[in-house]
Amino acid sequence: MEKDKNKSMRSKCRGRLSPEPVKKGMTVDEVVDSSMFSFNAGAFRKACELFTGHMVSKDVRIGVSLAGALVPAGIGRSCLIPLMKAGMIDWIVSTGANLYHDLHLMLGYDFCKGQAHADDEKLRNEGIVRIYDIFLDYDALLDTDKFVRETLSREFSGINSPCSSADVHSVLGREAAKIRPDLKDKSMLAVAYECGIPIHTSSPADSSIGMNVAALMLEDKTFNIDTHKDINEVASYVYDIKKRGGESAVLLLGGGSPKNFVLQTEPHIQEVLGLEESGHDYFIQFTDARPDTGGLSGATPSEAVSWGKVDPDALSKTIVSYGDCSLMLPFFTSYVLNKAERRKHSGLLDKKDELLSILKNDYLNK
């Protein structure tokens, strides 16, 4: 009887954990698959598996949000550009700051190793700006400001119709690549332009790019960046793939406004436009934000279901992994590139006017 009881108790425990010793010469994906099972390590492994096993399917459209100073930290060059080239990112919403900082290298400047506890008054006097433990020459800001103003003034002069932030960023990427074609593979904006990936920002005025647009207004060289056009464009990317029977996935790097702008595509389609939809099908977030403070940055996929942002039937395909994106993304990228096949670029940058027209027609004809 006792033997049968012990056997019955053991049978109730499923999914045995069997970690393997980490050995010299193992690749990142081998380490993740063999030793990361529980707590945040387990969530990270599940995120890697969800992305490589489902999200990179050919009928899934992947939107990425980018918050925090990840480009100065090197994540743009080390992680996002390889994923973009591999066809694993279809559209992006970023803070404007990341895109502004992406331009420095093309203008002859790079970020340098610094100290988090430096004397900032001394740095100011020496013409150095600091992002935590990263240093940058102040002249990089001045030259980048000049490039942005001259480029936008020249390229958008006489254009009266409103443009989206994606239009602005594609022009900056194209022109930056002309300056330093030998470095174009190290610029997110340049790579996005060549791969046909639209990059939007949810707050065009909240960055140095926006400040330079404001300066052009004072010179009576204004042009109309309409963020409301961005809202419709990003919604059209999601609406198009779902209308054709595909699926929509989001990879959220940090939180903030970019996270919301990516996720609000679904409430815009369902609630505001009144078009039939049920929410994003896949959701991965890497964040250090807590959910119990009530902020959007830490809001869970389950909470997003209540807003229509995530399909309630897709909760099993959502993962939040807690940690610092600058630490997690290199390992995630290595895992993905080792495990998944390259995808054909969807070319949304060249299709966005067409997709916007479809969304508009369906809304007006519903």
Catalytic residue among 229, 309, 317, 352: 309
d(CA 68, CA 75): 11
Residues 6 or more apart whose CB falls under 8 angstroms from that of 71 comprise 97, 98, 99, 101, 102, 188
Residue linked to tokens 């920002």: 201
Q: For residue 310, give the DSSP letter.
A: B
CB 258, CB 93: distance < 8 Å: yes
Alpha carbon separation from 54 to 27, 41, 44, 240, 334 (Å, rounded): 22, 20, 15, 19, 17
DSSP character string of 90-136: -EEEE-HHHHHHHTTGGGT---EE--TT--HHHHHHTTEEEETTEEE
Catalytic residue check, 146:
no
Transcribe 27-78 into DSSP letters: -HHHHHHHH--SHHHHHHHHHHHHIIIIITSTTEEEEEEE-SSTTTTTHIII
Name the one residue in this structure whose structure tokens are 């925090």: 68
Q: Are strands 282-287 and 60-66 parallel, antiparallel or unpaired?
A: unpaired
> 20, 34 in Cβ contact below 8 A?
yes
The span from the CA of 236 to the CA of 228, in Å, is 13
Residue pair 67/257 in contact by the 8 Å Cβ criterion? yes
Q: SS3 of 337, please?
A: helix
- Retrieve residue 362's tokens: 């369906």
Residues designated as active site: 309
